[in-house]
Amino acid sequence: MAPVNLDAPGIAGDFFELLARSPGAPAIPRIDGTSVPAQIQATTVFAFHFADGVLMAGDRRATAGNVIVTEKVDKVIELDATSMMAIAGVPATAFEIARTLQTAFEYYRRSQLQSLSLPARVRALSRALRDNLALTLQGVGVVAPIFAGLDTTLAPASPRIFFYDPLGAQFLSTTHAASGSGSNSIRSILSFHERFGSPHPSRYPRRDAIRFALRLLMTAAEFDAATGGIEPTAARFASLKILSDQGIESVPDAEQAASLAAS
């Protein structure tokens, strides 16, 4: 790799200009003929209610501009035994937020001998996004996650879905939520099925919900280049987790394959 000339015009004191000029660094051209470094982005994620609880899903592709960085990203992250989040945006920031919340939730559980309430966990993620405001406003650390947690104040305990904007505003969803570059296609299909489907996705049994989630991601990938990594013929599947009154369960690739084959 050839060295970068640090004395070249426009280099000194400008980290992002230096990064853009580094050999092999993905970059996005600008209208003035210069370029800016392309951030790694992780998309697409969504969650919806089904008969057994909440299914949260994410594709496995991460991109930097027009470059596919990897097809093996796990975008659905367990925060504790009864809450999880799906990340859309810059993975470096999102993973750090997830690790911080995991540590905070576990510390509270061990020190107080009880878990944080669902409203407290919802606000903790909102606060973490607000603490990331400086990077969000610079456009270099934008994250727009989805959160699902178990409300243990109800009998029986019931899962809830929340979605966030990058500044930390939180919104409760009664049916579904989606985020990321392929979310428009997924949100439209989910809304259509919730209004006109028979049965509605909220009544799907487990196998049908898994098959539906995989089909949503494959459909989104047809219209969004940043969504991908789902190739059933090559035994590559999605990140799928289920939150029920029994806690969180990952859906293995074998079950995803069986659900598609049963259609």
Active-site residue, selected from the candidate residues 43, 63, 93, 227 = 43
Determine the average pLDDT of the residues in 231-254: 94
pTM: 0.84
| Amino acid identity at 207 | R
Please check the confidence at residue 139 and state whether its pLDDT lies above 50. Answer: yes
pLDDT band at 38 (very low <50, low <70, confident <90, very high): low
Q: Could you tell me if 64 and 89 are in contact, meaning their C-beta atoms sit under 8 angstroms apart? A: no
Q: What is the pLDDT of residue 124?
A: 97
Catalytic residue flag (residue 44): no
pLDDT band at 15 (very low <50, low <70, confident <90, very high): very low
Which contacts (CB < 8 Å, 24+ apart) does range 111-117 have?
Answer: 115/80, 115/81, 115/82, 117/153
Q: Could you tell me if 90 and 75 are in contact, meaning their C-beta atoms sit under 8 angstroms apart? A: no
Distance CA(180)–CA(162), nearest Å, equals 15
Q: What is the pLDDT of residue 32?
A: 54
pLDDT in tens, 166-178: 999 999 999 999 9
Mean pLDDT score of the chain, rounded to an integer? 87
Other Cβ atoms within 10 Å of 116 Cβ, number: 22
| Amino acid identity at 144 | A
- The domain 45-261 is placed in CATH, from the list 3.40.50.720, 3.40.640.10, 3.40.50.740, 3.60.20.10, at 3.60.20.10
Determine the average pLDDT of the residues in 198-209: 96
| Helices (runs of H) and strands (runs of E) counted in the chain | 7, 15
Domain ranges of the chain: 1-38, 45-261
Q: Could you tell me if 48 and 55 are in contact, meaning their C-beta atoms sit under 8 angstroms apart? A: yes
Q: What is the pLDDT of residue 7?
A: 53
